[in-house]
Each structure stands twice: as C-alpha cells, then as structure tokens.
Amino acid sequence: MASALSTPPARLPLAERSSLAFSVLLGLISAVLLDFCFPVAGPLPPWRASLAWIALVPLLWALVAPGNAAHPRYLRRATLTAWLCGVLWYILNCYWIYQTMLLYGHLPPLASATAVVLFSAILGLYFGLFGLLVAFFRRRSGLIPALALAPFLWSAIELAAARITSVPWDQFGYSQVDNLWLTRIAPFTGVYGISFVLVAVGALFTLAVLTPPIRGIAGGAALLVTLVLQCGSFVKEAPAPTSAYSVLLQPNINVEAGDVWPGTQWKGNPNWILEESLRTCTRAYLGIPGSDTPFRTPDCSHNLAPPGVVVWPEVDSWFTSNDARTQGVLRSIATTTHAPVIAGMLGMDVTGTYNSAVFTEPDGTIAGRYDKIHLVPFGEYIPYQQLFSMIPQITHQLSPLQRGSRRKVFHADGHAFGIFVCYESVFADEVRLFAKNGAQVLVNISDDGWYGDTSAPWQHLNMTRMRAIENDRWLLLDTNSGVTTAIDPQGRVALSAPRHTLTSLVARYGYRSDLTFYTRFGDVFAYLCAAIGLAALLLSAFTSAPRTDPR
C-alpha cells in the first residue's frame, strides 16, 4: 500500500495537459506572436508577417486539447484563456494609447495606464467570445468540427468588433498587407477573407499537433499553403500605371501647441504653402520610410502639366471653412497651380462645428466640403455623455464635434475624388462607398502626430493600404507629420516623405473607375461567415449531445 501511494501519477503528454496555468500560458504566447505580426516601432519586416500563420496555434491548442476538453469547467476556462490572450494582445498592440493620453490628454501616468488596461479588457471580450464558441463546438461536436469552424467564428467576431464597438483596429488580415498573392482575395472578401485564411491554416497546424494519425496530412497541407502563400511577400511586380501627379503638403505642426499663425505670419506661411504647391518634383523615399529605403529624387519627367490635386492634411491650424482669409488662400492656391485643392480644417456653419475637408476647384470655386462622419470616441466626441461626464475635465484636448451625414464625391477636370478623414480609414465598409459613389482616386487626410513615435502611424498606414487594395484604387495619404505617401491599387507604397519634417511630397498616381466585388457589396463574406457560425451554433445546440470522449 505504501509503495502504491508513493508512486507519482503518470505524466500526461504535453498536448493533453489540463492545467489552467499551462492553458493561459499558451494563450499569452499567442498574444505575443500576434503582436509581432504587426508594426511595433517602424515598418513591418516580411519575416515577421510570416508569424501570422502560426500565431494562433498555441491559443487553439489550449482551447481544444483533450485534457482541457475533459475538464468539468471547460467552457469557463476556455473563455478565460482566450480573454486573457486578447487583453495582452490589445495592451501590446495599442500601448500607444498610454502616450497619447499622457502627453496630449494630460492624464496622470496611472490614469493613462488604466485607460489602456480598461480598453484592452473590454475589447479582449471578443477573444473571450471566440474561446467560448470554439470550446462549445469542441464539447458538442468534437475536435475537427471545432477547428473547422474556427476561421468562420474569427471572421464573424472581427465583423462584430467593427460594428458593435467600432474599433476594428489591426484585424488579423492586415498582417499580410505586403503579401501580393494573399491580398488578391481582398477585392472580393475584404480584409476578413485574409483573416479567414490565416486562422484556417493555424487550425490545420493545431490539428496536426493534436491528432497523430493524420499529423502528416494536416501538417503537410498547412506547411504547403504557408510556404506557397508567404512567397507573395517577396515577389516583385511591375509598378501600377500613373496619369497625374499630386502635391501632398506636410506642415509638421505641433499637435499640442495649436499653431494659429497670427498676425504677419498670415503672409509668410501661406506663401510657403503656395511655393510648395508649385513644386513638380521632390526628394522622397522610394517606398516606406526606413533606414534601408532609398531616399532620392524620382523620375519627374512626366510632371509637366498642372498637378492633379494639391492636398493639405487634417491638422489643428488656422484654417476654418467660414473664414474669408482661409477662402482667399484656397482660391489663390487653386488658381495659381490650376489644380483642385483639398484642405483639412474645421468646418463651421449654423449647424455646428465639424472635422472637414474643403474642396476647391481649379478656377477658385469652393465646391463644398466633406464632414467627417465616423468621429473618434473621447477625442472628437464623448459617447454616453451622462455616463462619462467627467471626461472633459480630465482630457483637455477633447473637442466635441458634429457628425457629417454624406459621403460626398467631388469632381474636377473630369475626375472624381473621394475624401475621408484620419480614423475613418480603418472602416472598410464605409471607405468603399466613396468608390461606389464614383471616386476614381481616394484621398485620406490625417494628423498622425497624436501617435508620436509609436507603432500607431505604421499600423494606420497598413490599414489604409488595405483600403486601396479592396477598392482597386490609388490612395493619397497626406498627414501632418508622416507617413505621407502615395499608395497604388495593390497596396504598395510608391513614394513617401520623411517623417517629422516640414516638407511636401510630389507623387504620381492614376485614376480608376472599375468596381470590385467588395466595393459593390461590402462585407458579404464576413456576414456569410457569421451566418454559418450562427447556423452551426443552432444546429449543434438543438441536435447534438455533448461528447463524452474528449478526443
């Protein structure tokens, strides 16, 4: 008897361990791997993007391993594991919120850190929902059905994040924006289709880990798909054709100081704007700004006619739409350059104040303005005003604004321009409406100075690049402090200006009128994934008995 009691229990294989701590550790490993799939403090190297193929394997392993599935509190543990994964992922990916709150919101360090944690804890619930649903299908239907449904569930939950909380920041598919082969599906499925493929391959790798009888088949298929598709990050294709050039102004105004340019500066600074608007060539990075990117004067021999457009970014400056001096500056630039002018500013009228882009035609006629529709919560408006009534006192930079209501397309010289402002670029189903309404080129004006030298400007750039891919359009991104760039219809950065520099960028671009499937119909693929997930949930809940065999 003593001998039997002293004999330690047999140690379970690694794949079958049911320790909650071990499961949580696997989830946290996935969070770290996911973070390295996205820009951290600069452009994303292709090798890091390749981590996306295996980033979810540890989490999926923790969610469906036999030892975990047999535990009496399996659903609760799976939800907790996935939620903690999501919390860490958002803290790592959106750490820049701390700096923005600290430096520009003037919150104390503890309050700034608390804001990041609360933000991450709330959005981490989407990960928790994913874990709960995968575990539910694992228990009701088995291992293979649960892993087969995982990509549908992931895409559906990404859609929910975009619709419910309106924070679709760095959805999984953005990690592959440089993959020219995999992004070919984006004009049909949007970024959700790329997320779907990544999760599906991760599920295959997980199946290979947990099922020795088919390890060779599942693992071989996953590895083959990974190797073939990842090659798309290294291929080089011919540049997209161009037919015009733009002048993108980068004023590099201090976002905190609020440069209103009073008095005699009204003469000096508009003169700088006009001089830069007349440029036909500038030195630029031949691609994304970086230490290994060539910085030189591109071929400007085709820039003979007037520019196709001159753009002034979103920035806290002296421009307001109802100011006579502002209107005079816009008319002067347009008539001198013989080009349409797009200028970010506060739009003011009897209905309120807006974050706007004013469009001036080449003859100096101010054609109208686009008023930003999707405002930044706690930055441009306060959601649930009564609940968060203390916010104006602790966030001094808050400027309550009115929402716009129309996605206008502006016309000049026979071409159509679709303009959206800053944060709106992360909402794919909204940006596509500009192309659907006739825009032949997309223009995003932004003030990324609020992000500082963090990962956020690079993350914003990659999400904006996906909008060009989905709609098969050239996209001009003009920012206050960088990254200012021209993006071709395949999402490639053609030219870009150096960051944190008072400068301008002369960049060529083209016009396109064809409509992609995604432009026409939007998030059909994501809704289909949601429908399949819901149908499977109902079918499993009402027709299947819980499995007693955890394998």
**What number is the average pLDDT over the span 218-229?**
93
Asked whether residue 10 is assigned to any structural domain, the reply reads no
345-360 pLDDT, tens per residue?
999 998 999 999 999 9
At residue 193, the pLDDT reads 98
- Does the structure show a pLDDT above 70 at 148? yes
In which band, very low, low, confident or very high, does the pLDDT at 1 lie, cut at 50, 70 and 90? very low
Region of poorest pLDDT, from 327-341, 390-404, 456-470:
390-404
Is residue 56 situated within a structural domain? yes
Question: Do 258 and 163 share a structural domain?
Answer: no
pLDDT digits (tens, 9 = 90+) for 524-539: 999 999 999 999 999 9
**Helix 143-160 to helix 109-141 angle, to the nearest 10 degrees?**
140
At 395 the pLDDT is 44
DSSP letter, residue 162: I
**Whether residues 369 and 429 fall in one domain:** yes
Asked if residue 384 belongs to a domain, the reply is: yes
> Does 500 map to a domain?
yes
- What is the chain's mean pLDDT, rounded? 89
How many domains are contained in the chain?
2
Whether residues 271 and 408 fall in one domain: yes
pLDDT at 128 over 90: yes
Peptide bond into 483 cis (omega under 30): yes
Confidence (pLDDT) at 41? 78
Cβ contact 166:159 at 8 Å: no
Do residues 169 and 283 share a domain?
A: no
The predicted structure's pLDDT at residue 355: 93
Residues 373 and 418 in one domain: yes
Give 414 or 106, the one with higher predicted confidence: 414
What's the confidence (pLDDT) of residue 9? 44
Q: Do residues 190 and 257 share a domain?
A: no
Q: ∠ at Cα 93 (104, 293), nearest 5°?
A: 90
Distance CA 478, CA 485 (A): 7
Same domain, 228 and 272: no
Distance CA 201, CA 203 (A): 5
Q: Confidence band (pLDDT; 50, 70, 90) for 386? A: low
pLDDT tier, 391 (very low <50, low <70, confident <90, very high otherwise): low
Q: Could you tell me the CA-to-CA distances from 207 to 57, 68, 373, 411, 542 in Å, in that order?
A: 9, 15, 44, 53, 26
Mean pLDDT of 70-87: 95
Using the predicted structure, report yes or no on whether residue 327 has a pLDDT greater than 90.
Answer: yes
Question: What tokens does 32 get?
Answer: 């770290």
Place of tokens 């330690």: 8
Within a domain: 517: no
- In which band, very low, low, confident or very high, does the pLDDT at 103 lie, cut at 50, 70 and 90? confident
Indicate the DSSP class of residue 45: P
3-state DSSP call for residue 396? coil
Is there a domain that residue 344 lies in?
A: yes
Once rounded to an integer, what is the mean pLDDT over residues 380-384? Answer: 64
| Helix 428-436 × helix 456-471 angle, to 10° | 40
DSSP classification of residue 321:
T
pLDDT at residue 320 is higher than 60? yes
The mean pLDDT of 64-87, rounded to a whole number, is 93
550 occurs within a structural domain: no
430 near 446, Cβ under 8 Å? Answer: no
Whether the Cβ atoms of residue 448 and residue 457 lie closer than 8 Å to each other: yes
Q: Which of 168-172, 235-239, 499-503 has the least mean pLDDT?
A: 235-239
Going from the C-alpha of 526 to that of each of 144, 356, 463, 519, the distances in angstroms are 22, 31, 17, 14
**232 and 277 part of one domain:** no
Indicate the SS3 state at residue 383: coil
* pLDDT given for residue 212 in this prediction: 87
Q: Where are the alpha helices (DSSP H) in 57-142?
A: 57-64, 66-69, 74-93, 96-99, 109-141
- Give the per-residue SS3 of 228-285: HHHHHHCCCCCCCCCCEEEEEEECCCCCCCCCCCCCCHHHHHHHHHHHHHCCCCCCEE
Least confident window among 66-80, 174-188, 258-272, 280-294? 258-272
Tell me whether residue 459 is in a domain. Answer: yes
Cβ neighbours, 10 Å, residue 348? 14
**Residue 505 and residue 393 in one domain:** yes
In this structure, are 342 and 426 located in the same domain?
yes
The enclosing domain of 425 has a CATH number of 3.60.110.10
The backbone torsions φ and ψ at residue 166, rounded to the nearest 5 degrees and listed phi first, read: 55, 40
Q: Which residue range(s) make up the domain with 44?
A: 15-236+524-543
Least confident window among 15-24, 390-399, 485-494, 509-518: 390-399
pLDDT score for 393? 41
Q: Residue 290: its pLDDT value, please?
A: 81
User: Residue 118 — pLDDT band, cuts 50, 70, 90?
Assistant: very high
Averaged pLDDT, 65-85: 93
Strands 475-479 and 485-487: antiparallel
User: Given this model, what pLDDT does residue 19 score?
Assistant: 83
Longest dimension (CA), the chain: 100
Q: Which amino acid is at 488?
A: D
Residues 138 and 260 in one domain: no
Q: Is the pLDDT of residue 4 over 50?
A: no
Question: Looking at the structure, do residues 488 and 529 belong to the same domain, yes or no?
Answer: no
